[in-house]
Chain A
Amino acid sequence: MQHKRRTSISLELRHNLRVFWSASLGSFSNFLAEYSPAVFFGTAVPRYILQSAFFVLLARFAGGPELMRFSLLGNAVQIAANMGLVNMVSVVESEKWIGTLPLLIAVPSNKLPALIGRGVANMIEGLVGIGFALGAGMLLFGAVFVPLRLLMALPLILLVITSIFGLGLLIGAITLPLRIGTLTSNAMAYIMMVICGVNFPISGLPEWLQSITRLIPMTNGLMAVRQVVDGANYRTVLPLIGYEILVGFVCYVLGYLVFEARLRTARQRGTIELF
C-alpha cells in the first residue's frame, strides 16, 4: 500500500516536472519570438542600463557615492524583480487574452508548474538585466563591487526573483476576472521601488511602513544581498533569508489558492469566457 502511494507521488512529481519543462520551453520560444537580437540589444538592454542610471544619478546627486552604490545594486535587482512581477502577471493574464484559459482549466494537470514554467525565460532575462545594469553602472559611475561577492550573492538574487514570482502569481490570480492585471503589477513594481529599500534604506521610511514593507517579497532578500555583497557570510543573513523564503512561500500558496478559487467560481457560474 505504502509502495503504491510512493509510486503514485513519484509519477505525479514526474508529470509536474514534465509540465514545468514544457512550459519553460514555451516561455523561451515566446521570448525569442518577441525579442530578436536587434530588438533585445536595441531596446531591452538600453532600458536596463538607462533606467538604473537615472536613479543612480539621482542618488549620487542627493547622497554622494555611498547612496549611489546603494541605489545601483538596488535598482539592478529591481530590474529583475520588476520583470518577474510584471511577466508573471502577464503570464496569467495572457491566458485569457489568447483564449487558452478555458483549455488550461480543462486539463487535469496542476496549473502551478505550467504558470511558473511560463515565466522561466523572464527569470533568465532578469539575471541578464542585472548583469548589464551593474556592469554599466560600475563602468560609467565608478561604483566598486567585488565580483566574487556579487557571484556569492547570486543564489540570494535568484531567491528574490523567485519570491517575487510568487507575488506576481498572487496579483495575477486576484486580478484574473478584471482587466487591470498588468497595470496593477506595474504600479506594484513602482511602489516597491519606493518602499522596499531599493533607492534608500527602509530605515528612511515611517516606522509603521517599515513593518509592512518587511511583508513584501524582495525587502528582506535585498537586505541579505547587500550584506553578502559587502562581505557578510550566509550565516549572518540567515534570518533575512528565512523571512524572504517565508514571504515568498505565502505568496505562492495564496496565489495558487486564489487562482484555483477563481477557476472554481468561473466553472460553477459558467463565466470563464467573461474573464
Chain B
Amino acid sequence: MTHLQSLAASIRVIQNSYKMQMAENVTRNTFQFTLALQPVLFTLLSVGIYRFAGKPDLSLYGIIGSGLIGMWNANLWTSGFIVQGERWSGTLELLLATPSSLMVVLFGKSLSNASASLGAIFITFLTGALVFRVPLAIEDPLGFFVGLILTLLALTTLGLVLGTLFVLTRAAGNMTQVLNYPIFILSGLTFPITTLPLWTRPLSWALAPSWGSQALGQAAGLSDEALMPAFLWLIVLALIYFLIGLVAYRRIERIARAKGGLQEF
C-alpha cells in the first residue's frame, strides 16, 4: 500500500468513526444533557454570581468560560466513554486487532465529539442574551472563529490523549469526574488564573482551555492583548498532545499485543 493509499484509508476510517460516534451521540441522553443543558446551567451560575456580586461587566467573560466548560465536558466526558463503551461492548480488542490503527478510530470519534461540542458555545451565548440580556458584540468575529477552531483542534487532541490512556483503566468514568474541576480551575475559565497561586501557572499554560479562553476573550474584546500568541500556543499544544497520544498509543498497543488482550486492565 502506498503512502497515499494509506492516507486515504485513514481518512475513510476517520470519516466513518466520526459518523458512527455522531449517530451514537444523537441517541445518547447523557451527551444531549452535557451538550445542551449543562452549558445553560453553568452560564446561569457564573453570570448569576457575577451579577449578584455587582460585576455585570464580567458577564461576557462568564459566558465564554461556560461555553468552554461545555465544550470541555462534551469532549472529555465522551472521550472517556468511547473506550469504556467499546470495552463494555466487547469490541475494544477487535478494534485493536483490525489493520486500521485504533488511534485513527479514536481520532475520528474525538473529532466528532469536539465538533458537536461547538454547540455549547452557541447555547451559552443564547442563554446570556435571553436570560441576562448581555449584548453579544464580538469585537473581532474572524479572530473569534479562528480561536474557536484552534481550541477545538487542541481539545480534540487532548481528548485523544485521554482516550488512549483510558484504554488501560476501568476507572475512566471516575477519572473524568475528577479531572473536570481541576481543568476548569487551572484554565481560568470563570475567574482569572492570576487569582491562583503562582506555582500553578505552568500547569495552566500546559492546558489548551487556558489559551482557548484567552484567545476567545481577546477576540471578544475583553482585553487589548494580541491574539497571535494565544493562537500559536493552541497550535503548539495541539501538536504536543498529538505526539504524546501517538507515543502512548504505540506503547499501549505493544503491551496489549504482548499480553494477548486487554482483559486485565
Contacts and interface: CB of A to CB of B under 8 A. Distances in A.
Interface in B29-75: 29-30, 33, 37-38, 41, 44-46, 48-55, 58
A67 B53 CA distance: 8
A39 B178 CA distance: 11
A204 interface: yes
A19 interface: no
A187 B33 contact: yes
Nearest to A61: B191
Contact of B33 (A43, A53, A186, A194): A186
Max count, chain B CB within 10 A of own CB: residue among A54, A55, A62: A62
Contacts of B177: 43, 47
A43 B179 CA distance: 9
A199 B29 contact: no
Contact of A187 (B37, B54, B178): B37
B185 A54 contact: yes
Q: Is the interface of B mostly helix, strand, loop or mixed?
A: helix
A61 B195 contact: yes
Given A183-B33, A200-B52, A194 B191 contact: no
Interface string A21-62: 000000000000000000100111011001101110111111
13 contacts: A42-B178, A43-B171, A44-B174, A47-B177, A50-B181, A51-B181, A61-B195, A62-B58, A67-B52, A183-B29, A190-B37, A194-B44, A200-B48
Interface in B158-173: 171
Q: Is the interface of A mostly helix, strand, loop or mixed?
A: helix
Contacts of A47: 177-178, 181
Interface of A: 39, 42-44, 46-47, 50-51, 53-55, 57-64, 67, 179-180, 183, 186-187, 190-191, 193-194, 199-201, 204
A190 B51 CA distance: 19
Contacts, number: 85
B182 A39 contact: no
Interface in B175-214: 175, 177-178, 181-182, 184-185, 190-192, 195-196
B50 to A, nearest CB: 5
Nearest to B194: A61
A59 B55 CA distance: 12
B84 to A, nearest CB: 14
B159 to A, nearest CB: 19
A62 B41 contact: no
B48 A43 contact: no
Given A53-B185, A54-B184, A199-B45, A62 B53 contact: yes
Contacts of A43: 171, 174-175, 177-178
A75 to B, nearest CB: 11
Given A39-B171, A62-B49, A183-B29, A46 B178 contact: yes
Contacts of B53: 59, 62-64, 67, 200
A190 B38 contact: yes
A62 B48 CA distance: 10
Contacts of B33: 183, 186-187
The 8 closest A-B pairs by CB, nearest first: A63-B53, A61-B191, A50-B181, A204-B52, A62-B53, A43-B174, A200-B52, A190-B41
A62 B29 contact: no
B191 A57 contact: yes
Given A39-B174, A51-B181, A53-B185, A194 B48 contact: yes
Given A43-B177, A50-B185, A199 B190 contact: no
A81 to B, nearest CB: 15
A200 B175 CA distance: 29
A119 B182 CA distance: 29
Nearest to B181: A50
Given A180-B29, A186-B33, A187-B33, A59 B49 contact: yes
